[in-house]
A and B are shown apart, each in its own frame.
Chain A
């Protein structure tokens, strides 16, 4: 009955609800990667970190019965992978892009290996907050059933903007990203700064992964992440290394990724797989539009290998 009353509004509502749900991993990975890249290093391994976080979070939630411990464990696993990335990149003549690819494969393999026994059991999932209590329409209620992690991510974006702009550590991170020589001249170890920034990025990416397994879609299997990590890394470029823009971009990508399932929910399953490719096509199109071979990108950290 309610279904009929809102008619075609089902699709945009499902896209909106999906955008909020699906965007959370994008948001966490991109915020973390944003900080890593502002310190002058790129970590392409976050795809592997995301999957490790999903597996680790699910496993710990299953073993301890507490999903929040799972989230914490996922973050720590991510930070550990970040530390591995940073320590290898700290060696002379090692290329950070290649190390990222290696850790993408390593993280994925390790998660599949350790996660084999976790495919069957059901772990306690993260609770959600119901913001749709005012409405009688089930679709509205479903769309507004929001997880706390999303709210934390939304709050984190302006905090990171503020921290980068005004705090001492924000300034140090930016200095390392703009000019390693300047940071060295000030007496800081560039490797140590980037180590912390990469661990922070890994921590957030791990949390993003735990969202996948503990809230939406909310189970652990080997097909859980398909490129969200790498899309989020591309998204940071599109967002011009600005955490607030990362937030808007994540919502946009979440909406694009929710399009396929939303259409399927109203019975349009033609081209389901093509709609699933929407976020990747969108990423590619946005990169084509916003990049330029002639000038370096506005806001790009000068030490970043990917834009040099």
Chain B
């Protein structure tokens, strides 16, 4: 009897160790497999560039130099990573519910428009007031924009992937209309723009760097999202609903409410990215804003496997690839679209690598 109990304790210890091994194994998988995919994409891109008579080793060298080689390029990289973290959250948060939202670019544009409008509506207010109003307006507008896609999915059964992408084109048309019409600054001749929000209202850089505060916003948003998803009851409910909608309904979760709140938060993150671009970089709204951060954000989310914390390093990596584009253009004479090609290759290899999970021989787990 006693021996049984003891062996039971011993057993539980064994299981705990096995569970720990399993956990380490799966974390290692989530690191190793995307890294392999990334390396594969870099090799493919090297071959691709070699086809155009460029030396792949030069390519890798300049990419490293342009992204992480100097303090200057690090700052450039982090500045680009800021909107990527926020737009990646726009895809990663709904993914917890099993939804594929790819409309971060639209929410970014709408957020930027709303933030600019808020600033222009408050002339003469203290900068902090203006900035808070801009953040609220941008997040609210972006949030509602994506919540629309969520509501259509929940209450009308409209596919959210398609509707969120259609909303990108609608947002772009709206932006072009307002910037060239009602909100146009008459003095902006070559590039129609809204009026400037004013130098006083711009947010500065993180002390000691040229990196604007938007990067800090992004990191905070990612950490908060991580806590929300993995350490709150709400996040647990969302993951349950994402795993099995029927089970969630059986235990009495309000799936509709989850969908709306998650989409609101997701859109708010992308809207904040738009606000940051206005208040830290552009100073006014114009067509420059549609720089594709929303689309790269989708890739960041998938590469990070929709884990909000993993989004931070992945966004820095992708920001670095974007930052190196200029150097590749100047030194190797590659077109600016080469960054897009590499991003596309990474996306393809990352998705194809999904097939590897649980199949890597050196990570094979022993059956319990």
Q: Which residues of A contact B (CB under 8 A)?
A: 44, 84, 88, 91-95, 97-99, 101-103, 105-110, 112-113, 116, 226-227, 230-231, 233-234, 237, 270-274, 276-277, 280-281, 283-284, 287-288, 291-294, 306-307
Contacts and interface: CB of A to CB of B under 8 A. Distances in A.
A8 B174 CA distance: 28
6 closest cross-chain pairs (CB), A and B? A106-B344, A109-B340, A277-B173, A112-B337, A102-B347, A293-B157
B154 interface: yes
A95 B351 contact: yes
Contacts of A291: 156-159
A117 to B, nearest CB: 9
Residue with the greatest number of chain A CB neighbours at <10 A, chosen from B167, B181, B357: B181
B52 to A, nearest CB: 9
A88 B157 contact: no
A283 B340 contact: no
Given A95-B351, A273-B180, A105 B173 contact: no
Given A101-B298, A102-B347, A284 B340 contact: no
Contacts of B100: 97-98, 101
Contact of A227 (B165, B338, B339): B165
Contact of A105 (B167, B169, B335, B344): B344
A106 B342 CA distance: 8
Nearest to A284: B166
B166 A113 contact: no
A91 B354 contact: yes
Query: Max chain A CB contacts within 10 Å: which of B155, B169, B335, B341?
Result: B169
Contact of A110 (B158, B302, B339, B341): B341
A20 B8 CA distance: 77
Contacts of A102: 299, 302, 344, 347-348, 350-351
Contact of B177 (A113, A227, A273): A273
Of A116, A291, A294, chain B has the most CB atoms within 10 Å of the CB of: A291
A97 B345 CA distance: 16
Contacts of A93: 354-355, 357
A112 B337 CA distance: 6
B75 interface: no
A287 B164 CA distance: 12
Contact of B162 (A99, A234, A281): A234
B337 A109 contact: yes
B176 interface: yes
B233 interface: no
Interface string B315-347: 000000000000000000001011111111101
Given A95-B351, A273-B176, A230 B156 contact: no
Contacts of A110: 340-341, 344
A226 B161 CA distance: 16
Given A102-B344, A110-B344, A288-B156, A280 B173 contact: yes
Nearest to A222: B337
A105 B343 contact: yes
11 contacts: A92-B355, A93-B354, A109-B341, A234-B159, A234-B162, A276-B173, A277-B174, A287-B163, A292-B157, A293-B156, A294-B157
Chain B contact residues, majority secondary structure: helix
Contacts of A231: 166
B54 to A, nearest CB: 12
A212 B156 CA distance: 33
A130 B323 CA distance: 51
Contacts of B181: 270-271, 273
Contact of B170 (A97, A113, A280, A307): A280
B340 A94 contact: no
B102 A101 contact: yes
Interface string B342-368: 111101101110110100000000000
A291 B156 CA distance: 6
B156 A292 contact: yes
A95 B170 CA distance: 27
Contacts of B169: 226-227, 277, 280
Contacts of A273: 173-174, 176-177, 180-181
B351 A116 contact: no
A109 B337 CA distance: 6
Contacts of B170: 277, 280-281, 284
Contacts of A237: 159, 162
Nearest to B340: A109
A147 to B, nearest CB: 25
B348 A103 contact: yes
B351 A98 contact: yes
Interface in B271-307: 295, 298-299, 302
Contacts of A97: 100, 161
A283 B352 CA distance: 31
A98 B102 CA distance: 10
